[in-house]
A and B are shown apart, each in its own frame.
Chain A
Amino acid sequence: MSARSVLFDAPGPAARRRMRVFNVVATVVVAGIAVLALWRLADKGQLAASLWTPFLDPSTWTNFLLPGLLDTLRAAAVAIVTSGLFGLVFGLGRLSQVAAVRWVSGLVVEFFRAVPVLLMMIFFWLALGYSDLVEAPDAPFLAVVLGLTLYNGSVFAELVRSGVHNLPRGQREAALAIGLRPPQSLRLVEVPQALIAMLPAIASQLVVILKDTALGQIITYGELLDSARRLGSGQGNILQALLVAALVFIALNYLLTRFAERLATSVDRRTAGAARAEAPSLVVDPD
């Protein structure tokens, strides 16, 4: 429903006047709150120029924020690929003709979708730290990637499965009719179309991955938030540094979200399935 168009009339002169008055009042109230907050911040010395000028200094960016951003993107990029693979494997597992494979895949996927990512990261970080499987400096990175992969991979698996389920029955029937075996039909006909239908949802899950790399800060992974904190420790402007990091995150995620939205409108024509912009809910239909 496009509620906007039918829920109300185009405002008339009186309504427009009321809106203008309302806008002015609302702006004054919001601006008032902002001024009050700024005044109190200034009172605490948080607006002092010395706390903000470091961000005009290139070395702040080259020594802290950009390396941090690079590490954020590195963890996100690796986690995107590994969770894609995880999702494909377990998504196909959930569609397998062998009941045991279906069952095990279902169990794995539902388990990792239910456990908080932060708990997984902390666990892998400490577990890798106590073992000597990897070099200690790599433990935070691996823990971040593992945590993100298990959770988001499970979401991807769910996307693959529900994407295939949402395809019109005729696709599979046609594939079988031309002599493909069920696994071939799955691999050659159904999954590719399901993936395209699910591209927008996959893209919006990428935002989740990118945003969740920030949890790596808690386990000493040197990503953007962590480097902002380190910068803030040295310059005594940790709040300002976190604010700048937040703005960088917002800009990145905003671009990614816009990309996902555009994808949703453009891929609709290219698949027999219906494009969806959202991840399926947990335990959709436990068949």
Chain B
Amino acid sequence: MDDGYLAQFSSLFSQFDVLGAFGTNLALTFFAAIGSLAIGTVLAVMRISPVPSLRWAGGTYVTFLRNTPLTIIIVFCALGLWGQLGITLSSDFQTNFFRLAVLGLAVYHAAFVCEALRSGVNTVPVGQAEAARAIGLGFGQSARLVILPQAFRGAVAPLGNVLIALIKNSTVAAAASVPETSGLMRTMIENRPDVILAIFATFALGYVVVVVPVGLATTALSRRLSVAR
């Protein structure tokens, strides 16, 4: 790589807002993570609840959402919810699609959060639930006070995996007209095919820089939080 190549390549940064695009992906990830954690927790509680119909509903949700390609979900959010049903999540045109994409990402990853939490529930020894019952806690209380707090601690590693998947899957939001990294990378390459490798390396390394620390933090956190048994 001589100077000319590098100079040509760096000139691209003044023309395209690479950091802004990564910012969009991180913002998508942030809001979708909160949303999917909330929905996923509700689903997990539903799946261990005493009410058969709730268990069934939770299971059906997970089966359907987990097995649908994310692209279809995002397209349905844009063209179905907004395009046909007229649901708007913001009066601003672009913000509306950002929020629809967040919604799509959240409902999709909620299914995986639910499964991660269920695996966390499985790390809680039966004795804990028995003890909770023995001191007179009902289902809601024992789930809230005893089971879920421990399940979250046991589910840190799989939840971290879901978060990493979410960061990467936020690139699919392009299908809902959100200007983010995958779309920008494509535009940049189509504009400047001569520096295609450098462009790809930039975006790939950007994701490595975001994802690897999350992985390391998850590992450290899951070690620190895991309950010694």
- Are any A and B Cβ atoms less than 8 Å apart in their complex? yes
A binding-site residues for B, Cβ under 8 Å? 1-4, 6-9, 11, 15, 19, 22-23, 26, 37, 40-41, 44, 46, 110-111, 113-120, 122-123, 126-127, 130, 207, 211-212, 214-215, 217-218, 225, 238-239, 242, 245-246, 249-250, 252-254, 257, 278-279, 281-286
Contacts of A249 in B (CB 8 A): 67-69, 72
A23–B53 CB distance below 8 A: yes
B121–A126 CB distance below 8 A: no
Q: Mark B55-83, 1 if CB is under 8 A from A, else 0.
A: 00100000110111111100110011000
In the bound complex, what is the Cα–Cα distance between A279 and B216 (angstroms)? 16
Q: What are 13 pairs between A and B in contact, CB < 8 Å?
A: A6-B129, A7-B133, A40-B84, A119-B181, A126-B190, A211-B67, A218-B175, A239-B84, A249-B72, A281-B160, A282-B215, A282-B218, A283-B215
A214–B139 CB distance below 8 A: no
> Is B51 an interface residue, CB under 8 A from the partner?
yes
Contacts of B161 in A (CB 8 A): 279, 281-282
**Known contacts being A122-B182, A214-B69, is A130 close to B193, with CB within 8 Å?**
yes
In the bound complex, what is the Cα–Cα distance between A279 and B215 (angstroms)? 14
Query: Which secondary structure characterizes the binding site on chain B?
Result: helix
Contacts of A284 in B (CB 8 A): 219
Return the contact of A26 from the options B53, B67, B147, B190 (Cβ within 8 A): B53
Return the contact of B218 from the options A1, A2, A257, A281 (Cβ within 8 A): A281
Distance (Å) between the CB of A94 and the closest chain B CB? 16
Contacts of B70 in A (CB 8 A): 211, 214
In the bound complex, what is the Cα–Cα distance between A250 and B169 (angstroms)? 19
B139–A250 CB distance below 8 A: no
Question: 5 smallest A-B Cβ distances: which pairs?
Answer: A214-B69, A282-B215, A253-B67, A283-B215, A114-B211
Contacts of A254 in B (CB 8 A): 63, 67
A3–B169 CB distance below 8 A: no
Return the contact of B51 from the options A19, A119, A245, A252 (Cβ within 8 A): A19
**Known contacts being A7-B147, A22-B51, is A250 close to B185, with CB within 8 Å?**
no
B129–A123 CB distance below 8 A: no
Return the contact of A250 from the options B67, B160, B218, B219 (Cβ within 8 A): B67
Chain B interface category by residue count: 35 or more
Contacts of B139 in A (CB 8 A): 7-8
**Known contacts being A127-B196, A278-B158, is A37 close to B207, with CB within 8 Å?**
no
A1–B71 CB distance below 8 A: no
**Known contacts being A6-B133, A122-B182, A218-B71, is A282 close to B196, with CB within 8 Å?**
no
B72–A281 CB distance below 8 A: no
**Known contacts being A40-B86, A214-B71, A250-B67, is A115 close to B215, with CB within 8 Å?**
no
> Is B126 an interface residue, CB under 8 A from the partner?
yes
**Known contacts being A3-B48, A118-B171, A283-B216, is A126 close to B71, with CB within 8 Å?**
no
> Is B23 an interface residue, CB under 8 A from the partner?
no
> Is B8 an interface residue, CB under 8 A from the partner?
no
Return the contact of B208 from the options A115, A245, A253 (Cβ within 8 A): A115
Chain B 34-68 residues near chain A, CB threshold 8 A: 48-53, 57, 63-64, 66-68
